[in-house]
Amino acid sequence: MKPGLRLVFLTLLWMGVGGCVSHRLSPEPHLRAHEEPWQIRPASMSTPTLNVMTINLAHGRGNGVHQALQDGDRARENLDAVGALIRREKPQIVALQEADAPSAWSGSFDHVSYLAERTGLSWSLQVAHAEGAGLRYGTGLISGLPVADTGAYTFAPAAGTLPKGFSLVTVRWTDTGELVDVVSVHLEPLREAVRQQQTQQFIAALADRGRPLVIMGDFNTEWGHDDGVLETITRDLGLRAFAATAPDLETFPRLDRRLDWILASADFEFADYRVLPDPVSDHRVVVATLRGRHVKRLTLLRHAKSSWDDAGLDDYDRPLNPRGRRDAPEMGRRLKAADQVPDMLISSPAMRAVSTARMAAREMGFPEHRIIEDRSLYHASNRELFSVLTSLETLAAHLMVVGHNPGLTDFASSLSPVRIDNLPTASLFCVDLDIEDWNELAPGSGRFAYYDFPKNTRGAVLTASDL
């Protein structure tokens, strides 16, 4: 089709859809199990993470101009590319937007069920927020975790806009059957005032559910936009965004904007967050690994390089040397970039240790006045470090300790099966702990997470296979 005719066609199509498609204000969620219920297994507590993904399917058109200009075979080809991506990334739950039920313009088949069947995920939910003129489309979710409940909501109609809304599944996560609400949402793209109204409806519908919450989707807005939508949602629903102002996480290449987001309640922390480059839609796919915050994380930071220039100074009072003053903030920046800011920071009060803690804290955005100085950490032995930490009365999920060798190296090596000969100055050693309270901390109770040090220039932390 010639470009001029294509433009006329799409304009007429838009006008026609706007006039014929109606809002389904009480959409019925269509839940399908793609395996027998007894074949579905909850995630194990031995891997206490939740892997999630969000994709705007663009009605199955891939990067094409419009779904009405292609046939059903092409739509299936495009969705097969999405399915291959899902199989590669292995998410447990996928949120979908612009997801079609059987619709004349996109092959007349259910795109959500099609993806579930080709990816081996056990459950699919399709919600049609819009219906009419042979079209049914909206949001959806596919899940490999058992679904305990579902929900759906279409935002109130607004003149000159197409229907938008959200779908919800309550899944059972971990061997204890913990319930988590997972939402797929699509907000108005063009009119800021309408998007703000939808935001208020969204918050009212999800407030006070009393469960861990993950919201994913195409919000059609960015952090810091005048509409304040993302800031309002995260504030009012108690959610967190990963690296909200990072410059390199654009999801809509055509406009270089970050429109697609994964938000999580305080029950989780982001262990990983990526925007995939695969061009399976006009939007990029976002994936994240969420770690349940009932799992504790312990990060050890050895003080940065200290100065020996003044022989008359007591060891306790030795300051950092120029290299130390460079390395300490660098490790803080790395922690901030990885979204690994601790909930609590405790440090030896020796000058070289507390200076390291303060410089790292400034770069992380951790308030310096909240740094706890504990004299017993000064040259503490392995046994003394266990004694200090098991006596802490805190609910902190992520604790950072700044201390000294040789005790810190001995302590690091005793926490998990991974052994390390020496923690260099300003190095980080991190373990995850399957404990509810810090008084349960014991030798061997940790799972090694990562190791990093200032001279590591590979652009990634070291894992168990590197040591």
Give the angle 145-129-75 at the CA atoms, nearest 5°.
Answer: 75
- 453 and 342 housed in the same domain: yes
b vs e for 221-245, b when ≥16 Cβ sit within 10 Å of the residue's Cβ? Answer: bbbeeebbbbeebbeebebebbbbe
- 352 and 275 housed in the same domain: no
Is residue 405 included in any domain, yes or no?
yes
Is residue 13 included in any domain, yes or no?
no
Query: What is the percentage of the chain residues whose pLDDT exceeds 90?
Result: 70
Among the three residues 263, 292, 321, which one is the final residue of a domain in this structure? Answer: 292
Among 18-27, 92-101, 209-218, which stretch is predicted with the lowest mean pLDDT?
A: 18-27
- 263 and 347 housed in the same domain: no
Domain span at residue 162 reads 21-292
- 241 and 333 housed in the same domain: no
**Residue-level pLDDT at 22:** 62
Among the three residues 241, 265, 292, which one is the final residue of a domain in this structure? Answer: 292
- 160 and 126 housed in the same domain: yes
**Residue-level pLDDT at 38:** 28
Is residue 27 included in any domain, yes or no?
yes
- 83 and 114 housed in the same domain: yes
Model confidence over 43-54: pLDDT tens digits? 332 336 899 999
Question: What φ, ψ does residue 119 adopt, rounded to 5°?
Answer: -115, -5
CA distance 190 to 284: 19
Is residue 449 included in any domain, yes or no?
yes
Is residue 3 included in any domain, yes or no?
no
Residue 293 has pLDDT above 90, yes or no: no
Residue 131 has pLDDT above 80, yes or no: yes
| 126 and 138 Cβ atoms separated by less than 8 Å | yes
Count structural domains, the chain. Answer: 2
Question: What φ, ψ does residue 266 adopt, rounded to 5°?
Answer: -65, -5
Residue 16 has pLDDT above 60, yes or no: no
Model confidence over 54-96: pLDDT tens digits? 999 999 999 888 888 889 899 999 999 999 999 999 999 999 9
Model confidence over 154-211: pLDDT tens digits? 999 999 899 999 999 999 876 456 789 999 999 999 999 999 999 999 999 999 888 8
- 273 and 376 housed in the same domain: no
pLDDT, the chain, mean: 88
The residues, ordered by sequence, that sit 6+ positions from 360 with a Cβ below 8 Å of its Cβ are 301, 328, 329, 331, 332, 335, 366, 402
CA distance 428 to 193: 46
Among the three residues 292, 311, 326, which one is the final residue of a domain in this structure? Answer: 292
Identify the CATH number of the domain in which residue 343 sits.
3.40.50.1240
Residue 281 has pLDDT above 80, yes or no: yes
Is residue 332 included in any domain, yes or no?
yes
Model confidence over 150-164: pLDDT tens digits? 999 999 999 989 999
b vs e for 411-442, b when ≥16 Cβ sit within 10 Å of the residue's Cβ? Answer: bbbbbbebebeebbbbbbbbbbbebeebeebe
- 367 and 288 housed in the same domain: no
Is residue 4 included in any domain, yes or no?
no
- 262 and 334 housed in the same domain: no
Q: How confident is the model at residue 397 (pLDDT cuts 50, 70, 90)?
A: confident
CA distance 454 to 460: 12
- 162 and 208 housed in the same domain: yes
- 86 and 113 housed in the same domain: yes
- 255 and 115 housed in the same domain: yes
Is residue 7 included in any domain, yes or no?
no
User: What mean pLDDT is predicted for residues 211-217?
Assistant: 95
